[in-house]
Amino acid sequence: MDQLAGPAGAGPCLFLTKGGLLLENKTAAVSMRGITKTFGSVVANNNVDLDIYKGEILSLLGENGSGKTTLMNMLSGIYFPDEGQILIDGKPVTISSPKEAFDFGIGMIHQHFKLVDVFTAVENIVLGLKEEGKLDLEKAAKRVQDICDNYGFDVDPKKKIYDMSVSEKQTVEIVKVLYRGADILILDEPTAVLTPQETDKLFAVLRNMKDDGKAVVIITHKLHEVEVLSDRVAVLRKGENIGQLITKETNAQEMTNMMVGREVTLNINRPEPLFSSPRIRIEGLNVKSDDGVMKLKDVSFTANAGEILGIAGISGCGQKELLEAIAGLQDVESGSITYISDDGSREELIGMDPQKIADKGVALSFVPEDRLGMGLVASMDLADNMMLRSFRSGKSMLTDRKAPRALAEQIVHDLEISTPDINTPVRKLSGGNVQKVLVGREIASAPTVLLSAYVVRGLDINSSYTIYDLLNQQKEKGVAVIFVGEDLDVLLELCDRILVLCDGRVSGIVDGPTADKHGVGMMMTSLGGDHMDGGEMHE
Amino acid sequence: MNNKEPLIHITRRADIGWKKAWVIRGAAIITALIISAIAVTLATGLDPFSVYGKMFEGAFGSPRKMWILGKEIAFLLCVSLALTPAFKMKFWNLGGEGQILIGALVTSAIMIYVGESLPNGALIPLMFIAAAGAGAIWAGIPAFFKAKWNTNETLFTLMMNYVAIQLVAYYIIIWEVPKGSGKVGIINQDSLAGWMPDLAGQKYLFVILLVALMTIGIHVYLKYSKHGYELTVVGESRNTARYVGIKVDSVIIRTLLLSGGMCGIVGWMMVSSTDHTITTTLAGGRGFMGIMVSWLAQFNPVAMIFASLLLVFMQRGAAEISTAFQLNQSFGDIITGIILFFLIGSEFFINYRIHMRHKEKEGTENV
**How do residues A403-448 score in pLDDT, each as one tens digit?**
999 999 999 998 888 888 898 899 888 777 888 999 999 999 899 9
B302 contacts B81 by C-beta, under 8 angstroms: no
Per-residue pLDDT tens digits for A191-224: 877 777 788 888 998 999 899 888 999 988 778 8
* Among candidates A41, A80, A391 on the partner chain, residue whose Cβ is nearest the Cβ of B6: A80
Predicted pLDDT of residue A15 = 45
Distance from CA of A215 to the nearest CA of B (A): 24
Q: Which residue of B has its CA nearest to A100?
A: B4
**Any chain A CB within 8 A of the CB of B90?**
no
CA A3 to chain centre: 31
To the nearest whole percent, how much of chain A has pLDDT over 90?
31
Which of A263-267, A329-333, B21-25, B277-281 is least confident? Answer: A263-267
CB atoms within 10 A of CB A268: 17
- In angstroms, the CA B128 to CA B70 distance is 21
Predicted pLDDT of residue A5 = 40
B56 contacts B335 by C-beta, under 8 angstroms: no
A369-396 average pLDDT score: 90
User: What SS3 state is found at A156?
Assistant: coil
Please tell me the CATH code under which domain B70-324 is placed.
1.10.3470
Residue A167 has pLDDT above 90, yes or no: no
Q: Domains (ranges, CATH) in chain A? A: 1-105+183-266 (3.40.50.300), 111-182 (no CATH), 274-363+446-539 (3.40.50.300), 379-445 (no CATH)
Residue A309: which pLDDT band, with cuts at 50, 70 and 90?
very high
Q: Which residue of A has its CA nearest to B237?
A: A373
Distance from CA of B119 to the nearest CA of A (A): 35
Contacts with B230 from chain A: Cβ below 8 Å: 391
Contacts with B352 from chain A: Cβ below 8 Å: none
Those residues of chain B that have pLDDT short of 50 are 1-3, 359-367
Predicted pLDDT of residue A522 = 85
A265-283 average pLDDT score: 84
A171-177 average pLDDT score: 90
Residue A367: which pLDDT band, with cuts at 50, 70 and 90?
very high
**Any chain B CB within 8 A of the CB of A97?**
no
Predicted pLDDT of residue B321 = 84
| Omega of the bond leading into B63 within 30 degrees of 0 (cis) | no
Predicted pLDDT of residue B325 = 83
Predicted pLDDT of residue A12 = 40
> Cβ–Cβ of B229/A377 closer than 8 Å?
no
A244 contacts A235 by C-beta, under 8 angstroms: yes
Residues of chain B with CATH 1.10.3470: 70-324
A19 contacts A249 by C-beta, under 8 angstroms: yes
Residue A530: which pLDDT band, with cuts at 50, 70 and 90?
low
Greatest mean pLDDT range, A152-156, A422-426, A530-534, B68-72: B68-72
Contacts with B365 from chain A: Cβ below 8 Å: 8, 33, 85, 92
A458-476 average pLDDT score: 86
**B63-88 vs B301-324: helix crossing angle, rounded to 10:** 140
Distance from CA of A16 to the nearest CA of B (A): 24
Pairing type for strands A364-367 and A449-453 reads parallel
Alpha helices in chain B (DSSP H): 18-44, 48-60, 63-88, 96-114, 120-149, 153-175, 205-224, 226-236, 238-243, 248-269, 286-296, 301-324, 329-351
B118 contacts B142 by C-beta, under 8 angstroms: no
To the nearest whole percent, how much of chain A has pLDDT over 70?
92
User: What SS3 state is found at A237?
Assistant: strand
Q: Within 13 Å of residue B332, how many CA atoms lie on the same side as its CB?
A: 25
Interacting residues of B66 by C-beta distance below 8 A, sequence separation 6+: B60
| Surface of A (278-337) touching B: CB under 8 A | 327-329
Predicted pLDDT of residue B326 = 81
Residue A536 has pLDDT above 60, yes or no: no
List Cα–Cα distances, A239 to A114, A289, A463, in angstroms: 27, 43, 18
> Cβ–Cβ of A388/B233 closer than 8 Å?
yes
Contacts with B367 from chain A: Cβ below 8 Å: 10, 91-92
Query: What are the start-end ranges of the E strands in A210-326?
Result: 215-220, 232-237, 240-246, 278-288, 294-304, 308-312
A125-130 average pLDDT score: 83
* Among candidates B4, B247, B365 on the partner chain, residue whose Cβ is nearest the Cβ of A94: B4
Predicted pLDDT of residue A100 = 87
Contacts with A8 from chain B: Cβ below 8 Å: 365
B339 contacts B33 by C-beta, under 8 angstroms: yes
Q: Which residue of B has its CA nearest to A368?
A: B243
ipTM score for this prediction: 0.81
User: What SS3 state is found at B321?
Assistant: helix
**Any chain A CB within 8 A of the CB of B2?**
yes
Residue A337 has pLDDT above 90, yes or no: yes
Contacts with A358 from chain B: Cβ below 8 Å: 245
CA triple A5-A11-A13, angle to 5 deg: 30
Residue A532 has pLDDT above 90, yes or no: no
**Amino acid type, A314:** I
Contacts with B242 from chain A: Cβ below 8 Å: 329, 353-354
A168 contacts A177 by C-beta, under 8 angstroms: no
